[in-house]
Amino acid sequence: MIRARDHLQPGRRRGRAALLLAAAFAAPGAQTQERGIPLDQLKSGSAFLGQDLRALQADEFANPGMLWVERGAKLWREPAGKKSLACASCHQEAGMRVVAARYPRIDRSSGKLLNLEAASTGAAPSA
């Protein structure tokens, strides 16, 4: 229903429309998402690998991914930056496991994907 005073304040009418539109889009997102698979039935991606690939992943010497783990451990201890400090000199390893589990995530200010490296070096994506 359009009122006479709405014609005197057109910005107010647009504001109401924008508010109603925002509420309409926010309502479906406010509902909780139903899980397609119950938590007790979720499987790791490795459950779908063949026996040979599972054996390769379990072998720390043959698994090529362990090269990256070793490189990360070396970088963790290696001094770097203007102050020539290693990450390990300031951060406890156990604490970083908790932090690392939170990444990658969506940066709230820009809406872009933020990985642990970008967060720790200050190279977060700009909006």
CB 116 within 8 A of CB 103: yes
pTM for the whole thing?
0.43
Cβ-proximal residues to 96 (8 Å cutoff; 6+ apart), any chain: 87
Which of 52-56, 72-76, 101-105, 113-117 is the most confident on average? 52-56
Where do the structural domains in the chain lie, given as residue ranges? 49-90, 91-127
Cis geometry, peptide bond prior to residue 104 (ω within 30 degrees of 0):
yes
CB 103 within 8 A of CB 119: yes
What local confidence, expressed as pLDDT, does residue 88 receive?
A: 83
Compute the chain's Rg from CA coordinates. 25
Q: Which helix (H) or strand (E) holds 106?
A: strand 105-106
Confidence of residue 8 (pLDDT cuts 50, 70, 90): very low
7 vs 62, more confident: 62
What local confidence, expressed as pLDDT, does residue 27 receive?
A: 52
Distance between CA atoms of residues 84 and 36, nearest Å: 49
What local confidence, expressed as pLDDT, does residue 35 receive?
A: 75
The predicted-structure confidence for 73-106, as pLDDT tens digits, reads as follows: 898 889 988 888 888 888 777 667 777 788 888 8
CB 115 within 8 A of CB 124: no
- Cα-based distances in Å from 90 to 43, 81, 84: 36, 13, 12
